Homo-oligomer: A and B are copies of this chain.
Amino acid sequence: MLFGQGDKIVLIGDSITDCDRGRPIGEAGNGGAGHGYVELVDAFLQSGYPERKLRVVNVGSSGHTVRDLQARWQTDVIDQKPDWLTIMIGTNDVWRQFDRPMLPELHVRIDEYERTLEELVVQTKPLVKGIVLMTPFFVEACREDRMRMEMDRYGAVVRAIAERNGTLFVDTQTTFDRVLEHIYSAQLTWDRVHPNKAGHMILARALLDAVEFDYSKRA
């Protein structure tokens, strides 16, 4: 497993990461992990590798776009001095273009998205042991759905940034698509955006796969 002794892992994102985490900083060790995939990741790590004393910190914030992340990057990422950083952002960047079309100041178009996300990655990479970039996703099986198509374009941007910068990468959309071959999206989320606990388990395990978590290990 990539996370080493005493490593501090910071996870940033939007409401899918947030899930009512602790404020101002969501220390998992103080009950602040929230109720989503971050809590599950922490539970896997603490139960599977208790001796490593890993420190998991949730700084997801509901409603945030990459523009909002940039605005709080210093305090919520840099100042936290993470060893590892995971980023899953983009849902709201896309969603607001579809559910709030009359409010253009809320829209983060793909060029701004790419430019901003890459700046954050470039700035932060030298400061940490590793970064995990996770695509945003839309739990919608219909590939011709307009919002799904746009989300896919943002996901492709994340992949490109990961490749250009040599970070770890999680394609959450593909992970969900694999499940959607078997079941209807309503089994995982009521609005095609916010996962239920099974959906968060999918996210947690996709992330753990990327950092080579060993499921066969028993403490």
Contact = CB atoms under 8 A, between A and B. Distances in A.
A197 B100 contact: no
Interface in A76-92: none
A219 B179 CA distance: 5
A159 interface: no
B102 A55 contact: yes
Interface string A21-47: 000000101110101000110111011
A160 interface: no
Interface string A194-205: 001111111001
Interface stretch (A67-75, A127-135, A184-192): A184-192
Contacts of A42: 197-198
Interface residues of A, number: 56
A101 to B, nearest CB: 5
B191 A51 contact: no
B142 A145 contact: yes
Contact of A147 (B98, B144, B186): B186
B99 A187 contact: yes
A26 B178 CA distance: 29
Given A43-B198, A100-B29, A141 B145 contact: yes
A44 B186 contact: no
A118 B34 CA distance: 40
29 contacts: A6-B102, A29-B100, A29-B102, A29-B103, A30-B100, A30-B103, A31-B196, A33-B197, A40-B40, A42-B197, A43-B197, A44-B201, A46-B187, A46-B201, A50-B187, A50-B198, A51-B183, A98-B186, A99-B184, A99-B186, A99-B190, A101-B184, A141-B146, A142-B142, A142-B144, A147-B184, A178-B219, A192-B192, A215-B216
Q: Which 4 A-B pairs have the closest CB atoms?
A: A99-B186, A46-B198, A142-B142, A215-B215
Given A6-B102, A40-B201, 14 more contacts: A29-B100, A29-B103, A30-B100, A31-B196, A35-B35, A42-B198, A47-B199, A47-B202, A50-B187, A51-B182, A54-B102, A99-B186, A142-B142, A147-B184
